[in-house]
Chain A
Amino acid sequence: MSAAGHISSLGPAEAQLDGPPDPEGQKRGWAGYLLLLPGGLWLLLFFVVPTVTLVATSLYDPAGSLQLGYQMTWHWQNYVDALQDYGPQFVRSLIYASIATIACILLGFPLAYAIAFKAGRYKNLMLVAVIAPFFTSFLIRTLSWQYILGDNEPLVSLLRTLHILGPDGYLLATPFAVVTGLTYNFLPFMVLPLYASLEKIDPRLIEAGADLYASPITTFRTVTLRLAMPGLVAGTLLTFIPAAGDYINSELLGNPQTRMVGNEIQDLFGAGDYPTAAALSVTLMSAIVLLVFLYVRRAGTEELV
């Protein structure tokens, strides 16, 4: 605030010395840096510094403890140990997150398309409806899936009657339940960016496709899908990243064989094994950064930021 106060002492006459305002209306000078300073410091202190600390912690001697303190010994072995012990959970996280992301695309695309092109004057209502279920807490929503997928509840009974499930078949505490929960919880993160991209498409472009004798499928592939690509890329990242790091769905809807890397990191921190937990965390982040980089390069969208 003091920055703005100081600027106000510069009268309009001095402001004019900067020459004619540029077309984007951007001011030069140090005021911009001052406005950036508080937020930038916060990000530096509590995002950049912690990330460095996390990497450092992952290289501490695992013989230390919270009470005795840790020694920095550049113990790269932590990574080998972490991947040896928790490799399956790691791979499982990436697989579950991938399946959930694909499921979100399959569910989210028709919904986003319907809102963008078919909802008419109910567009805003449908958009509110997309986010409304997410006003209740993440945990409460996930707990209610415990009921929906529960052993003696209507859904399982129905599937047993239809012989889709065997007489002793169940859904809760299976990989299916975990992926269902992940899909459900991150679906809006797919729908909203997809909608934002689809909404910008001029419907006349799609009509033009039909006028030029393209089949609906060709038009969809070459016009709609291509123009929706930025939304699809953003939605995929926004779904995949949190899903890969999540452990709530696995804990509430899964079983000990569906544990994901998030469960292990949380438990390792709880048990006080900081170096291994940090190594696992850094590995997860690196894998995600790598995948995002490859995916964005392949999908050709660099305007995410």
Chain B
Amino acid sequence: MNTFSRWLGDRLVLILGLLVLLYMFVPIFVVILMSFNAPGARNSYTFNGFTLDNWLNVCEPFQLCSSLRTSIEIGLLATLGATILGTLMAFAMVRHRFRGRSSANLFVFLPMATPEIVMGSSLLALFVNAGFAGALGFGTILISHILFCLSFVVVTVKARLSGLDPRLEQAAADLYANEWQTFWRVSFPLVFPGILAAALLSFSLSFDDFIITNLNAGQEVTFPMFVWGANQRGIPPQINVIGTIMFFIALLVVVLGEMASRRRAGR
């Protein structure tokens, strides 16, 4: 009896887990299905029939593709900025000894614990008080995105770095490599997977952000802001095409990353 109930217990947890996973995928199935939806009389969230039109005319809705371009540009620049600043900070926090380490840790953690609406409103309060109310736009969005990506970069790179044996770097120094050579030939290649993960995380955080962006965007329109506006006007089915493409691109990146790390482990 005991073995049977344990067997059932084992399977039960797995079955429950798989059901939860299924639940997590339901909206994705809907997005993919709706990307092939023919336009209907009512709203685009009623399935009217199969069509490829949405895929062939992705850029048709006004501002869709320009907002997408804005989001990609901001995403790339924010990723670059946050990854550089965050990686330097992570190196300092793991490899250097300095006063106020624990307050530095707290300082990095706090932005992650701040609700977006609060972070967005404090940035807006700053920009407005500093006289930039009329200058809200690409620049202010970029500043805010670098800010909220920064902490995630520090945490991700730190995790990778603290798992590395510092003796590898000491060995390089013993072999008369200077700090510069040690960094580029030993530390950097070893930490690179962490930096890459941090960069990918930054890009997806930046690309997906709405609440902070919406407060600090001025007249600029990013892709999430386009979707928000479209919800009030009537949602074009092309939005689901973009959603589907995003899903598969990200999935491809993750699968390639997994394959690369597996090949490295197998070597």
A residues whose Cβ falls under 8 Å from a Cβ of B:
4-5, 7-8, 10-12, 15, 21-22, 24-29, 31-36, 38-40, 42-43, 46-47, 49-51, 53-54, 56-57, 66, 107-108, 110-115, 117-119, 124, 126, 128-133, 135-141, 143-148, 150, 152-153, 184, 187-188, 216, 237, 241-242, 244-248, 252, 261-262, 265-266, 269, 274, 277-278, 281-282, 284-285, 288, 292, 304-305
Contact = CB atoms under 8 A, between A and B. Distances in A.
Contacts of A124: 258
Contacts of B227: 137, 139-140, 143
Interface of B: 5-6, 9-10, 13-14, 16-18, 20-21, 23-28, 30-31, 34, 45-46, 84-86, 88-89, 91-98, 102, 104-111, 113-119, 121-126, 128-129, 133, 143-144, 146-147, 150, 154, 166-167, 169-170, 173-174, 176-181, 183, 204, 207-208, 210-211, 214-215, 223-224, 227-228, 231, 235, 239-240, 242-244, 246-247, 249-251, 254-255, 258
B150 A8 contact: no
B117 A266 contact: yes
B105 A305 contact: yes
A137 B86 contact: no
B121 A265 contact: yes
A113 B17 contact: yes
Contacts of A12: 173-174, 176-178
B231 A137 contact: no
A150 B223 CA distance: 24
Contacts of B179: 4, 7-8, 10, 15
B150 A33 contact: no
Nearest to B239: A140
Given A284-B117, A285-B114, A278 B14 contact: no
SS class, residues of chain A in contact with chain B: helix
A265 B117 contact: yes
Contact of A147 (B34, B113, B210): B34
B115 to A, nearest CB: 3
A32 B98 contact: yes
Contacts of A262: 115, 117, 211
Given A4-B180, A35-B92, A110-B16, A130 B122 contact: no
Contacts of A117: 13
The 9 closest A-B pairs by CB, nearest first: A25-B166, A245-B115, A32-B96, A114-B17, A135-B250, A35-B92, A50-B122, A8-B180, A54-B122
